[in-house]
Amino acid sequence: MPLLKTGPLLKDGRLVGEDAFQPVADDAPLPASGAVLISYARWQAEKDQLGGRNSPLGISLPNTVDVLGFGPEAERFDLIVLNFPKFSDGRAYSQARLLRERFGYAGELRATGHVLQDQLWHMQRSGFDAFEIPREDAAEAFATAMQSFSHVYQPAADGRVSALKQRLAASRKKDAAE
Q: Tell whether 155 and 140 lie within a shared domain.
A: no
Assess if residue 173 is contained within a domain: yes
Question: Helix, strand or coil for residue 12?
Answer: coil
Are the CB atoms for 3 and 39 separated by under 8 Å?
yes
Q: Which of 7-16, 26-35, 117-126 has the highest mean pLDDT?
A: 26-35
Report the domain count for the chain.
2
Q: Tell whether 57 and 89 lie within a shared domain.
A: yes
Q: Tell whether 99 and 165 lie within a shared domain.
A: no
User: Where residue 67 falls among pLDDT bands split at 50, 70, 90?
Assistant: very high
pLDDT digits (tens, 9 = 90+) for 22-44: 999 999 999 989 999 999 999 99
Q: Tell whether 70 and 122 lie within a shared domain.
A: yes
68: domain range? 9-147
* DSSP collapsed to 3 states, 132-157: ECCCCCHHHHHHHHHCCCCCCCCCCC
Question: Helix, strand or coil for residue 8?
Answer: coil
Q: What is the pLDDT of residue 138?
A: 61
Full-model pTM: 0.79
pLDDT averaged over every residue in the chain: 83
Assess if residue 4 is contained within a domain: no
Q: Tell whether 158 and 77 lie within a shared domain.
A: no
